[in-house]
Structure 1
Amino acid sequence: MLIHFLSRRCLTCIALAIASLCSTVAALAAAADAATCPPQATAPTREVLQRAQQLAADRGFLWRISRGGRDSFLYGTMHAGRAEWLALGPRTEASLARTGVLALEINVMDPAVQAALREATQGPSRRLSAELMQSLRDAWAAECLPLDNLQVGPTEFHVVQLAVAQAQRHGLFPLYGAESALLMRSLRTERPVVGLETVQTQLAMLLARSDEEAEAMVRDALADWRDPGAQHVLERLTRAWVRGDLKDLEAYADWCDCLNTPTEREAFARLVDGRNPGMADAIERAHASVSVFAAVGALHLIGSKGLPALLQARGFTVTRLF
């Protein structure tokens, strides 16, 4: 059951595509009371990009993975960020420049992927009790999200949109995530972009398997939305990424307050660890013919089931660069 992993506690677990969809919806939020609504991201101006370049630094986590005389790179991202992070740091830039393809969790530049995501946002909603639906409406109103949109699309997307709105209140926006910086740089240099997963794979991890599961997801997400302590988890996760603090990230289970029950641990196994073998397969296949810069959510890189460990077990020499 994907409950806490659609909350502020685990924002970087949210697939880039889903976060991007939520960003689009959030851009339509009512602006009647700007003082109480979450801030909205805007397309970065030349001045914003120049400022980002002045502040460019290596953030996140980077490994070199080598096999067969070829080097590729594995980069741990945050799917939401700040405008001043839109420039790559020098080691990130140099590593990307050595590769022939950028590999993201899914290729959001692919028209077929975009079409599949649009179709997914129009899918059926889950049945919720009247009481829970009213609580969800109240939360949406508090985040200035369009109430009419609650009638369209999967309930699970609505939960993600609440999480994105809360992240925006803390200055983190999907539009400014690490993948955006990598995409901008790759598009300028005409570097091909590929996906490590299909939209269907990510949706299978996101969508509830029954009305009862969806209702439980919404209840827990609303409880988390009301919890002022949840912001501290997001702040700590962001700080670990900005500083490249791998030790703290590896201790995530000790401080995230999101792996306390068998249900929560099963959700993590599905959403994070469960996807890693498929992404490792895709990286291995691509590396056979071209140097790859693979960028995935940072939580996919930790532990014995993380991508560095999986690729090392497949015969890659894995070296952490930062």
Structure 2
Amino acid sequence: MLQRTLSRRHIASLALAFAGLCAAANSNAASAGAGSCPPQPTPPSRELMLKAQQQATDRGFLWRISRNGRDSYLYGTIHAGRPEWFALGPRAEASLFRTGVLALEIDVTDPAVQSTLQDATQGPPRALPAELMQSLRAAWAAECLPAADLDRGAPEFHVSQLAVAQAQRQGLFPLYGAESVLLMRSLGGQRPVVGLETAQTQLSAILARSDDEAADMVREALAELQRPKANQGLARLARAWETRDFKDIEAYAEWCDCLNSPNEREAYARLVDGRNPGLADAIERLHADVSVFAAVGALHMVGPQGLPRLLQGKGFKIERVY
């Protein structure tokens, strides 16, 4: 779920990592020295959850959306988090428990979705130019990732795993992302979980459409990893989400340094704005039958093609909660 400070590979990886696509980055680190490898998350324990709950505060962006006498909620997320974020704030918690269904971008609890994602990440690899593959292997080894994993799956996912490792070095883990918390709370309360789009729809927006495009994506991603300020965009996005600074999210195009060329703008439009009409249609269909808590990446909330504006155009009353 886009290059430079928050590249296409960042959003793609963080959009999918909580679904388990980057499990190797989280659990299969090689035996290099602990000081050189990305830190690994520990499984959420009772102690971690209690500590997070004690300091729980509302983060992210929440709207109440109402039509035909029914209230639903739209929640802007990021797909990775810190251990201390592993709890919903009071208003998010109350809103979730007023609804009858949790809607995520994709339903990662669906075996069919898991199978589709598994096929995409474990299938035959694309051929990359030899020198580019050598550079990818060097970056892969630097993040303590298993060398054999490069022998299968699309290279777009490999650079996504490098992005996840980069996020882990900043203390941001898919395991602690907002979707993980929402899933835990919903499944524990026997609230149904549904997907707003299919896994194939999301993959079509993320995967390269040709070998040449895949090579370009890998080349750009590896170049970005070498930039001294490569992590600042992700850190700023996380800070804006944590502090509920929606104005900074709205100004993303001004500071991300990622929409400088026609190709970059086309990639962003395909991955973010291009998916929004389908997401809005799915929310509308769900709302017709049940109150829904729809949790979608925060960048999908921005601008005239953002979900709040699209749903307003469908006749929903939109009220910002925080």
Q: Distance in 1 between matches of 2:208 and 2:9?
A: 17
> What code does the residue aligned with 1:207 have?
L
Partner of 2:190: 190
Shift in alpha-carbon separation, 1:106–1:5, aligned structure 2, 3 A:
farther
Map residues 1-322 of structure 1 onto 2, 5 A cutoff. Answer: 3-4=2-3, 11-12=10-11, 14=13, 16-26=15-25, 27-322=27-322
Secondary structure of the structure 1 residue equivalent to 2:64: strand
Q: Distance in 1 between matches of 2:168 and 2:17?
A: 15
Please tell me whether the aligned partners of residues 3 and 216 of structure 1 are also in contact (alpha carbons under 8 angstroms). Answer: no
> What code does the residue aligned with 1:233 have?
G
Matched residues, number: 321
CA shift for structure 1 position 42: 2.0
TM-score calculated relative to the size of structure 2: 0.96
Shift in alpha-carbon separation, 1:271–1:303, aligned structure 2, 3 A:
same
Q: Distance in 2 between matches of 1:10 and 1:85?
A: 23
CA shift for structure 1 position 18: 4.2
Q: Which moved more, 1:230-239 or 1:291-300?
A: 230-239
Structure 1 gap ranges (5+): none
Q: Deviations over 1:122-177 (max 9, x none)?
A: 22212111111100000001000111111111111101001000000000001100
Q: Which moved more, 1:15-24 or 1:101-110?
A: 15-24
Q: Distance in 1 between matches of 2:303 and 2:70?
A: 25
Q: Deviations over 1:42-80 (max 9, x none)?
A: 211111001100110000000000000000000000100
Structure 2 gap ranges (5+): none
> What code does the residue aligned with 2:214 have?
A
Q: Distance in 2 between matches of 1:62 and 1:238?
A: 16
Q: Deviations over 1:250-270 (max 9, x none)?
A: 000000010011100000000
CA shift for structure 1 position 120: 1.4
Please tell me whether the aligned partners of residues 17 and 23 of structure 2 are also in contact (alpha carbons under 8 angstroms). Answer: no
CA shift for structure 1 position 112: 1.3
Superposition RMSD in Å? 1.6
Secondary structure of the structure 2 residue equivalent to 1:42: coil
